[in-house]
Structure 1
Amino acid sequence: MMVGLGGGRCRCSLALALLISAGSVFLFCEFAIYYPAVLRCSWPEMREDGDRGTGSGSPAAVRALFLSDTHLLGAIRGHWFDKLRREWQMERAFQTAMWLLRPELVFILGDIFDEGKWSSPENWEDDVRRFKQIFRHPSDTELVVLIGNHDIGFHHEMTRYKLERFEKVFNVTSARILTKRGVNFLLVNSVALHGDHCPICQSVENELHSLSQALNCSVQSFQSESKKHRCRDMQRYASTPPILLQHYPLYRVSDAECTGEDAAPPNERYQLFHERYDVLSQDASKMLLWWFQPRLILSGHTHSACEVFHENRIPEISVPSFNWRNRNNPSFILGSFSQSDYALSKCFLPEESSVIAVYCGSAMLLALITLGHLSLFRGALHVTNILLGKQKSL
């Protein structure tokens, strides 16, 4: 009876130790792992040129966080476990970033949902509810959402109903300028820049043209009375070139020039892009560059990172997907902006392969420990039985 009691205690201790170890691994992979990843990130510093926004009398730099292509799965193509896993990962990563980095602005550059173009009213409401849970944020952080093709459909799928449904929920329009302490952010619905004069496209182009005139009136100093008269009734913005934000990248042939660990894989990098599907058309791209002369462009859609330069050396940064379903190594961009300068840095999140490796390695280790303890226990029990047998024979 004493041997049985001791064996039972040994087994209970082993089970408790295994349970604690497994729980610790789970807590690390699902909670703690995001903290060291985000703690490696920091807000970029702008050049020491006397206009960083930290000097006396000058406004503080605007701190903005950029992510893209969250692709929350819908009711049609989304498996329940895939939904649970990906949305949990995005929620923990985003909430950790909010707590540690405290950005003033958060921009999500389109494709918020995976099935917005198909969603029934009931499914749409459920998707929106989950989005607001995942990307909840402090009251002093402003979350700004842009329109992507999966939110309202590609051009041929886009309808007024789906566009207005998205605009109403997220309080956005297809073309507007958001100004924060003298920094202009130009927000564009690039899905509507198809250039075929469809009613939605024409309306967005008209809005953009009006914004370009107003921005030009704000930037330029006028030498003639006629120019002053033309700009007299227009809304004024900060007199700085804008940061252009949209879902589609401006036209480029391919991702062949893209480099870095989160660029497109080599087998995809040289595939030619289709205008109006992978990137904006050449005409729409030239129109935006000519009308606004942005100092920086940030876009999404390709799910991979890239940095290219357009005419007049205007840089464009493609922001990778924030969803582990699309990438093994999601990331987001941190930006510091003043009226005359900006600086960017990238923040990488834990790799999916690393998380899987920790789980698999821990499972193997716990299995080996269990087998080792069981072998020792059986050996000890066998020796005890032999000794007891000898004792009885004596």
Structure 2
Amino acid sequence: MATIRFGFGRLNFYLLKRRSFLLLKLIAVVFAVLLFCEFLIYYLVIFQCNWPKVKTSAYDSEQETHETVLKAMFLADTHLLGEVRGHWLDKLRREWQMERAFQTALWLLQPEVVFILGDIFDEGKWSSSQAWADDVVRFQKMFRHPPHVQLKVVAGNHDIGFHYQMDTYRIKRFEKVFNPERLFSWKGINFVMVNSVALEGDGCNICSEAEAELMEISHKLNCSREVNGLIPDQKQRSSHCENTQLQLASAPVLLQHFPLYRRSDANCSGEDAAPPEERSIPFKERYDVLSQEASQKLLWWLQPRLVLSGHTHSACEMLHGAGIPELSVPSFSWRNRNNPSFIMGSMTPTKYALAKCYLPQEDTVLITYCGAAGFLVVIMLVDLGLLASPFLLGCKLLRKFKTV
């Protein structure tokens, strides 16, 4: 009997040891998968992105080609969920994804300025004062940045409402948090940030003020061109530009939420363009895109060399007027896309180069989790089989001694 007790004691010790080892293996696998899918994958993917090089010619000075290159990051449509339509689990998941992607991009790519092209919030058009304040705190936590990096934001229809929802209160609330400057210049590069929601063209007070601001910016830019000899009319230059604060003569980069007018996304292509079945659906003016009239005014007033916009959640490249390129930036949120991305721009006063940086795909993360779950099941089945073998052996020994 002492021998039997000793044998079963060793068997129990062996089973306990095997169970503990199985538990440790399961914990290690779960921790490794979570670490990879929720943290390391952002470094692995964004590490592959590189700043584009600005094409230079033999006539460019060394100072222009090296010292004045500005590294700018452009993203759009983060759509932070609010208290009405946002489920807490959905909010937790999407905000963690965007925070990790943004913070990883800041650390790896070191941009000097970041532009967000509208629809920062999902419910800004109707959120209460307290809900707005809560959303702002969450945004500032997610998109925190060091002091040497500037963050510039333009308003979208989900931030202040469409034209029929927009009012002075919502605009002031937005501008109190985000710098309302329309003309931003750095390293000799001019950026014009437009409240495209206010370009309805119906003569409302907010629309009239927005157009007046843009006309004033147009005047400054044109006077700067004249003073620098880009518009050869000395008499005109000395008359109406005499008391104008001059900007650098660089043609501006136009930043806005609504795209310039286009009929549809039928001519758009690429892996992050709209789905094929949606590309031929006609766009509605003043809802999906700006009106033809507003688009022509912007191009005529500002004469930009590049236009960047958001709103559609999909990528598209278009040419307007005399070959002015526009790039629609896809949504930065996994709630809107399986493959979010952002634009990296290397810019000088006369040239620019753009590149797209894709973020981890949602499908990749889900497949990794499913594969890990299957692997855990296999481990458990194998280890349970090993646990069962000594247990069955012990039962056979017990029967044998009982018969004796």
Paired residue type of 2:206: I
Shift of 1:383: 2.3
Tell me, yes or no, if structure 1 residue 38 matches structure 2 residue 70: no
Structure 1 residue 380 displacement after superposition: 2.7
Counterpart contact for 1:109–1:299, Cα < 8 Å: yes
State how 1:174-193 maps to structure 2 within 5 Å.
176-193=182-199
Aligned pair in 2 of structure 1 residues 102, 328: CA closer, same or farther (>3 Å)? same
Question: In the aligned structure 1, how far is the partner of 2:39 from the partner of 2:61?
Answer: 35
Greater than 3 Å deviation, 4+ residue runs: 50-59, 387-394
Match of 1:97 in 2: 105
Structure 1: which amino acid aligns with 2:311?
H
Question: Given the two structures, how large is their TM-score scaled by the length of structure 1?
Answer: 0.97
Q: Are 1:342 and 2:355 counterparts?
A: no
Corresponding residue number in structure 1 for 2:239: 229
Report Cα offsets for 1:263-309 as digits up to 9, x if no partner: 00011111000000000000000000111111100000000000010
Q: Structure 1 unaligned runs (5+)?
A: none
Structure 2, gaps ≥5 residues long:
1-8
For the pair shown, the structure with the greater C-alpha radius of gyration is: 2
In the alignment, structure 1 residue 72 sits paired with structure 2 residue 105: no
Aligned residue number for residue 146 of structure 1: 154
Query: Partners in 1 of 2:165 and 2:233 — Cα distance?
Result: 47
Q: Tell me the CA shift for residue 381 of structure 1.
A: 1.6
How big is the alpha-carbon RMSD for the aligned residues of Structure 1 and Structure 2?
Answer: 1.5
Paired residue for 1:29? Answer: 37
Pick closer, same or farther for the CA change 1:335–1:58 going to 2, 3 Å.
Answer: closer
Residue 330 of structure 2, aligned match among 289, 302, 320: 320
Counterpart for residue 351 of structure 1: 361
Once residues 331 and 31 of structure 2 are traced to their aligned partners in structure 1, the CA distance between those partners, rounded to angstroms, is: 30
User: What letter is aligned with 1:151?
Assistant: D
Q: Which amino acid aligns with 1:250?
A: L
Paired AA for residue 336 in structure 1 = S
The answer (yes or no) to whether the contact 1:218–1:237 under 8 Å persists in 2 is yes
Relative to structure 1, the CA distance from residue 100 to residue 58 in structure 2 (aligned partners, 3 Å threshold; closer, same or farther) is closer
- Tell me the distance in 1 between the aligned counterparts of 2:268 and 2:37: 31
Task: Compute the displacement of 1:55 (Å).
Answer: 3.9
CA distance, structure 1, for counterparts of residue 339 and residue 270 of structure 2: 12
Q: Distance in 2 between matches of 1:353 and 1:57?
A: 40
Give the C-alpha shift of residue 202 in structure 1: 0.3
The one-letter code sitting in structure 1 at the alignment partner of 2:25 is: A
The residue type paired with residue 210 of structure 1 is: E
1:384 CA drift (Å): 3.4
- Residue in 2 aligned with 1:275? 285
Q: How does 1:215-226 map to 2 (within 5 A)?
A: 215-220=221-226, 221=229, 222-226=232-236
Aligned residue number for residue 123 of structure 1:
131
- Aligned to 2:337, what secondary structure does the other structure show? coil
Check conservation: 1:42, 1:101, Cα contact below 8 A.
Answer: yes
Offset at residue 139 of structure 1 (A): 0.9
State the identity %.
54
Q: Does the 8 A contact of 2:56 with 2:65 survive in 1?
A: no
Task: From the superposition, tell whether residues 136 and 240 of structure 1 become closer, same or farther in structure 2 (CA, over 3 Å).
Answer: same
The Cα offsets for residues 185-221 of structure 1, whole Å up to 9 and x where unpaired, read as 1110000000001000000001101110110010122
Q: Quick one: distance in 2 between partners of 1:58 and 1:327?
A: 36
Where does residue 262 of structure 1 map in the other structure? Answer: 272
- Secondary structure of the residue that 1:278 maps to in structure 2? coil
